[in-house]
Amino acid sequence: VFFFLFIVYHFIRRSRISKNLNHSHAPLIFLVISIGIMFHLVLDCSFGGYSFFWPFSDANYCLALIPHELAVPLDAIMLVIWLVHEEVKHKIKAYF
């Protein structure tokens, strides 16, 4: 849904209609949300814990490619990478 909204806003922004609209960051916001949702679904599926048609079906169609013991270290690594990115790009120390 969010990727579809990104495509719609992207084409509206490129057209002549966009001169009257002040939604310049809307396509980027929809793109970031859709990438985040996709990343979340890929991680859920790689840990083997995602049922596509829940509550209608409990069948799990994903393979458990990553053992559950690696969930906490993977989460910590992603958190540290994100914090380093925020420090380098956005100088988060200035807020404290």
For residue range 38-85, what is the model confidence (pLDDT) as tens digits?
A: 888 888 888 877 777 777 877 777 878 888 888 889 889 999 998 898
The radius of gyration computed from the CA coordinates of the chain, to the nearest angstrom, equals 19
- List the structure tokens of 85: 């990115």
Q: What is the pLDDT of residue 76?
A: 94
10 and 50 housed in the same domain = yes
Q: What is the pLDDT of residue 79?
A: 92
Mean pLDDT of all residues belonging to the chain: 78
Alpha carbons within 13 angstroms on the beta-carbon side of residue 69 total 0
Residue with tokens 């679904």: 41
48 and 26 housed in the same domain = yes
Which range marks the domain in which residue 44 is found?
A: 1-65
42 and 76 housed in the same domain = no
Q: What is the pLDDT of residue 3?
A: 78
Query: Inter-axis angle of helices 2-14 and 26-46, to 10 degrees?
Result: 150
Number of independent structural domains in the chain: 2
- The residue type found at 19 is K
82 and 60 housed in the same domain = no
